[in-house]
Every structure is written in structure tokens, then in C-alpha cells.
Amino acid sequence: MKTFSSSVSLVMLLAVSTFNVSAATLVEVEQTNNQVQKMWIEGDQFRVDMAGNNEYMIADYKSNKIYLIDPAKKEIMDMSQFINKDKQSSKGLKIEIKPMGKGQDVAGYQTTKFQLSANGKQCRQVLVSKKAQKDADIGRLMEALSQVDVNPMGAQFMQDCDRAGILFAREMKNMGMPLATINNGKLEDKVRKIQKNVALPAGGFKLPAGYRHVNLQQKIQDAMGSAFQGGQINPEMKKMMEDMMRQRQ
């Protein structure tokens, strides 16, 4: 998952008459493929609509629950078991977060640039804003994110910069909200809008009724049986691998 990359959404409930109306903070992120990812956030909860398909993720980091929902297949993938709080994935890492001065404005916010490094290797630069963090009211969410590490691949398969994501999150939560990363001088995963008091999409943070519950291990086992067709990786396996890589970012 985008830890930040990699990669990694805000709501108030208002009682009106005999029913509840949801209002949230919406964060829109323009990704490197020019698709827009939308996130709705409330406290420790968030919902992310995956750019480019109809899947979405809902999470409650206070209760350590995270689900990937596929409306097309009517499936709910429980990924909660991969929330890692034992700190093993970041063991042996030495990180450095170096201030680099003023960054360019993003989504109307002035930013500060930081260089992130792990074990002496430069990982990425990020642009952060304390005002954006305050406006989006994501302090509690960033605190929760800094305590968990969704790592379905296992630390042994990850590079230092990937493994350092949780440590970066713990430090960055005191510096501001990340609004963009810089790669070869270009902005990537750029926040383009922060909008408060918006309505949640249908279903909100609730798990849809009538869907089949699966877990990532089941999906991998199911796919491995028919992973190769005519000497090539079949489309379902390829998509699963892409999804897993996306979660690592």
C-alpha cells in the first residue's frame, strides 16, 4: 500500500431528525498515471476509491481493521491480518528526515520540502503542510497510521525505503500532511483538493451486505492454481500482483 507509496482518507456524523447524515473531508490525489484517487476521512477511519476501477478500501485503524471491496465480484477481502504492529518490518533501519527549505505550493498550500533517507540511501522527497493537516483534520488518522504497517509482501521482499515507510510516518505526523512526492524533479501523487463537509459515497464506511468474505491468502492460493495460461500469467493473477505492488508503494 502506498505507505505513503506509498500509500495509505475524514467524517463527522450529524444527527438530523430520525436519521444520520454523514459529512466528511474529501482529499483528492492526482496519481502518476493521471488518474485521481479520492479519500474520505473521519478520525481513525477512511475510505479510498481505487483510481481506475470500482474497488475501494475502508479501514478503521483504531480497531485494526482494513478491507478491500470489489463490487464487480461482490467480494470483501479482509486484510486486517497484515496490519503489523510488532515493528519487525522496520527493524535494523536508520532513517533520516532532512529539511530542504521551502517547497512549491500544492493545492493552494505553502509547503516545506523534506528528504527522506533510510540506511544512508535517499528514498524520496516530500512536500508537507501543517496548515493542510489542520484544515483536513487528519491528526488522529496520521497518528493511527504511524502505529501500523500494512505489509502483505513480508519485510524480506521489501527494500529499505519501502520498509522505512512506517518510521517515516511516525516522524512526519509531527511535521504536517504530505501533499506530494518529488521524483526526478517532478511532482507525483499530488493532492489537488481538500474539501470539508462533503457527503460520503453510498455505503460510507460500512461493509456491504451479501458479499462473499475472503482473505488475501485465499486469493493467492486460488490464483496460484491457475496462475499460468499458455506459459503466461493469467489476467487475474497479473491484477492481483499489481494490487499487491500498489499496496507496497
* Cell output for 183: 521524483
**In the chain, what are the domain boundaries?**
11-248
pLDDT in tens, the chain (249 residues): 443 333 333 222 222 222 333 478 999 999 877 888 999 988 778 899 987 678 999 988 778 888 999 999 999 998 887 665 555 556 778 889 999 999 999 999 999 999 999 999 999 999 999 999 888 877 777 766 666 555 555 555 567 887 787 778 777 778 889 999 998 888 889 999 999 888 888 889 999 999 999 877 666 666 565 544 554 555 555 555 555 444 444
**pTM of the shown model:** 0.71
* Cα gap 246→249, rounded to integer Å: 5
DSSP conformation letters of 142-182 = HHHHTT-EE-TT-GGGS-HHHHTHHHHHHHHTTT-EEEEEE
Tell me which of 2.50.20.10, 1.10.4160.10, 3.30.70.141, 2.40.37.10 is the CATH number of domain 11-248: 2.50.20.10
| Residue 93, strand partner residues | none
CA 66-53-57 angle, to 5 degrees, is 10
Residue 220 dihedral angles phi and psi, to the nearest 5°: -65, -45
Strand order of the β-sheet with 186-188 is 95-106, 109-118, 121-129, 177-183, 186-188
